[in-house]
Structure 1
Amino acid sequence: MTTTTSPDTSSPTAGSKPLYGLKELELETTFGGFGRETSREIPVIDLTDFDARREEITNQLWQAATEVGFFQLAHHGLDVTKVRNAFALSEAFFALPAEQKQRFPLKEGLNAGWEFMSQVRPSTGTADQKESFQITLPHMDDLWPNQTVVPEFQRVMLAFEYEAWQLGMKVLSCFAERLGFERDFFTRAHDRRQPDYQSTLRLLHYLPVAERDLADERLWRAGAHTDFDCLTMVFQRDGQGGLQVSPGKDAEGAGDQREWFSVMPKDELITCNIGDMLMRWSDDRLKSTLHRVRMPKPGDYNGPRYSIAFFCQANKDVVIEGPEGKYPPITARDYLLQRIQANFAGKK
C-alpha cells in the first residue's frame, strides 16, 4: 500500500539563483516532499569466510551498490555485544544536561564534537530533529568526556572506531579492485595514522517527538540527502525504525512521486550505502543513494531513536579523480568542506 502527501514547494532554491557550487548540492535541493511509501527489500550480504569467498562477495557488493545503493552486512565480524555497549555509552552521553554537553562543542568544519539541531539539509531548509557527537581522531583534543562524566566513553569509542574502520576498508577493497585500482587503494586513502585523516564516527540521538509535531510535514529527523563520503556504515537498534531509502537511479527528477521504502533495523546487521565521494571516484558507476529518517506517524513509537554511523571519508590531501576523468580533480579536503558548510549553513 502506498500513500502520497501534497508536493513540497519550499525548496531552498525555488525561484532563485543556485545557492551551492556542487552539482550534488543543487540536486539535493529538489529532494523535499514526502513522496510515496512502498515496500522493498535491500540486499543482505554475508561476509562469512571473507578471504575464501572474496570474489563472490565482491560480485554481490558490486551488484548491490550499482542496483540499489544500499545493502546490509551479516556475519561481519564485529561483536554485537560491543555494538550494544557503544549504544549504551552513547545514550549515557546524550542524557547529560545540556550545559555539560556544551563543554564539547562541534569544531567548525572539522566534524568533531557535539551539536544540537544545527544541521539543516538543502532538501528541507529546516533543522534535523536530532543531536550528535562526532569523533574525528585528529581533532578530539578537549572533546572527550572524562571518567567521572561518562565512564569508559573514550576507550570504548576509540576501539569501536578502529573496528568500524577495519570493516569499512575491507568492503572498500572490493570496490577498489572492481574499479581497476590496487586492492589497498582506499585503505591508503583513509590512512588513520595521518594528521589529515577525516573519517568520522557519529553518535546520533533523534529527539522524542511531541504528539503535536507528528503531522508537521516541515519537520524531519533527518531530511532527504545523499552522504558525502565514500561509504557509510550505520548501526541501528531493534525497534527504532525510520530510515528510508529511494534508490539512486530512481531519485533524480522524480519529484514528489519519488518512491521510498523503509529499512528495518536489526542489532546484528550493519546497513551500508555508497556516498558521493565514491560516486565521483567511480565516474558514476557506483551511485550514492538518497535516504532520510522520517518522523514517526500518529500511532508509531515516538520516543528517542539512537543510531551510530561510521563515515569513510578520504584523508584531506587525497585527490578524488576517477579512472575515466569524468569529474575535475578535487581534494577530499575541499570536497568535504563544501558539503559540511552547506549542511550547517541554515543557522547563519
Structure 2
Amino acid sequence: MAERIVPEISLKDFGNRREEITKQLLEAAEYAGFFTLVDHGISEEEIESQFAISKSYFGLPADVKGKIPHDTKTNNGWEYKAQLRASTGTCDQKESLWLRRNSQWPSDEDVPGFRETTESFMAKCAEISAQVLSCFAVALGLPEDHLRVANDPTQPDCLTQLRLIHYPASENAVGSWRAGSHTDIGCLTLLFQRDGEDGLEICPGRETHSSFAMGDTFTPLPAKTGPIVVNIGDMLMAWSDDRLKSNFHRVRAKDVGTSPARYSIAYFNQGRRDFVLQGPKKK
C-alpha cells in the first residue's frame, strides 16, 4: 500500500475562511483519518517552551514526580509504565503526567514556571479545539456551539486533559510497542511532536478489519515541531452517528538501532459529564 497522504489544513484567517476550512476538515476526518493543523496560533517557540517544561519535569527523581501519584478515579497525576494495552498484552513503555485545570500541579520549586506556562498552553489548545469543533458541529447539522459548549474546559464538570508524555530511550527494543495500537476514547485529540522524535504510526479506522487493527497496514507519521496532529476519538464518532471515524494509532520503536527518547504532548477534548453523546440521527 502506498504511504497515506495526511492532509495539512491551515487555520489562517479563520473567521473569513470558515466555510472553506469546514469543508477541508470534514473531508479529512471522513476519508484520510488524520490531519495536521498549521497557522493555528501557537508559535514554535511556545511549543518548544512547553516541551522544555515537560522535559524538566520528567528529569526529576521518581520520588519528586511521585508527589502527584496517578489517581485511577480522576485519571490525573504521574504514571510510569503503567498503562496496559489490550492490543499488546503489555504496558506501554512510557511515563506521563495527566493534568486537568483543577488537578494537582508540580510546584514552582520543583519545576519553575510549570503551572503558568502549561495553563497558557492549555488555553490556546482550547481555542484551537473550539474552532475545529464548531466546524464539525455545523457539518453534522448540530448548532454551531454544540460541541464547543459540550467540551468547555472552563466548566467544573469537563473531563478535558493535557497529557505530557515521555518515552525513554530504548536499546534492543527493535520493533517493540512504545504504545500499543488503540483509539482515543475522547472527542478530539491535538498532538504535538518534536523534530526527529518519530515513532507515531496511523491506521485510519475505515480500513481496519480486525481487533485493534492488528495485521492492518500502519503508516509512519514523521514528527515535526509546529504542526498539530489531530485525530477523532470514540466520543466524536458517536456524536457524528459514525460518520467521523475514530482511528487506530500506535508508537513503535525503530526497526534498526536504538530508539532515542521521544516527548509528545496530547490535548484530549473529553467532554462534560452532563452531556449526552448522541448524533442528529440518534444512531
The TM-score by the shorter chain falls in which range?
over 0.9
Distance (whole Å) between structure 1 residues aligned to residue 215 and residue 114 of structure 2: 44
Aligned residue identity for 2:265: I
| Maintained 8 Å contact 2:190/2:268 | yes
Instruction: State which drifts further: 192-201 or 266-275.
Output: 192-201
What fraction of aligned residue pairs are identical, expressed as a percent? 44
Structure 1 match to 2:86: 122
TM-score by length of 1: 0.78
Offset of residue 108 of structure 1: 1.4
Distance (whole Å) between structure 1 residues aligned to residue 143 and residue 45 of structure 2: 34
| Maintained 8 Å contact 2:187/2:268 | yes
* 1:175 paired residue among 118, 122, 136: 136
Structure 2 match to 1:90: 54
| Maintained 8 Å contact 2:134/2:145 | yes
* 1:277 paired residue among 235, 238, 258: 235
Aligned residue identity for 2:276: V
Aligned residue identity for 1:221: R
Offset of residue 253 of structure 1: 3.1
Aligned residue identity for 2:228: I
Distance (whole Å) between structure 2 residues aligned to residue 109 and residue 262 of structure 1: 34
Offset of residue 109 of structure 1: 2.7
Offset of residue 252 of structure 1: 2.5
Structure 2 match to 1:318: 275
Offset of residue 99 of structure 1: 0.9
| Maintained 8 Å contact 2:71/2:77 | yes
Structure 1 match to 2:174: 214
Over the residues paired in the alignment, what is the CA RMSD in angstroms? 1.4
Aligned residue identity for 2:158: Y
| Maintained 8 Å contact 1:111/1:136 | no
Give deviations 1:142-185, integer Å, cap 9, x for gaps: x3221221000011011111110110111010000011111111
4+ aligned runs moved over 4 Å, structure 1: none
Give deviations 1:63-110, integer Å, cap 9, x for gaps: 000002200001111122111000001000000001111111112131
Aligned pairs for 1:139-150 (under 5 A) are 140=103, 143-150=104-111
Aligned pairs for 1:192-211 (under 5 A) are 192-211=153-172
Aligned pairs for 1:218-237 (under 5 A) are 219-237=176-194
Unmatched tracts of structure 1, length 5 or more? 3-37, 327-348
Distance (whole Å) between structure 1 residues aligned to residue 255 and residue 206 of structure 2: 27
Q: Secondary structure at the match of 1:108?
A: coil
Aligned residue identity for 1:162: A
Distance (whole Å) between structure 2 residues aligned to residue 257 and residue 114 of structure 1: 32
Distance (whole Å) between structure 2 residues aligned to residue 186 and residue 121 of structure 1: 29
Offset of residue 256 of structure 1: 4.7
Offset of residue 204 of structure 1: 0.3
Structure 1 match to 2:17: 53
Structure 1 match to 2:253: 295
Give deviations 1:257-298, integer Å, cap 9, x for gaps: 411101111112000000000000111000011110011222
* 2:204 paired residue among 235, 238, 247: 247
Offset of residue 214 of structure 1: 2.3
Unmatched tracts of structure 2, length 5 or more? none
Distance (whole Å) between structure 2 residues aligned to residue 182 and residue 195 of structure 1: 22
Q: Secondary structure at the match of 1:277?
A: helix
Distance (whole Å) between structure 2 residues aligned to residue 260 and residue 54 of structure 1: 32
| Maintained 8 Å contact 1:90/1:203 | yes
TM-score by length of 2: 0.96
Structure 2 match to 1:154: 115
> Are residue 260 (structure 1) and residue 218 (structure 2) matched?
yes
Distance (whole Å) between structure 1 residues aligned to residue 6 and residue 252 of structure 2: 18
Distance (whole Å) between structure 2 residues aligned to residue 298 and residue 69 of structure 1: 28
Instruction: State which drifts further: 83-92 or 246-255.
Output: 246-255
Offset of residue 191 of structure 1: 2.1
Aligned pairs for 1:100-139 (under 5 A) are 100-138=64-102
Aligned residue identity for 2:205: G
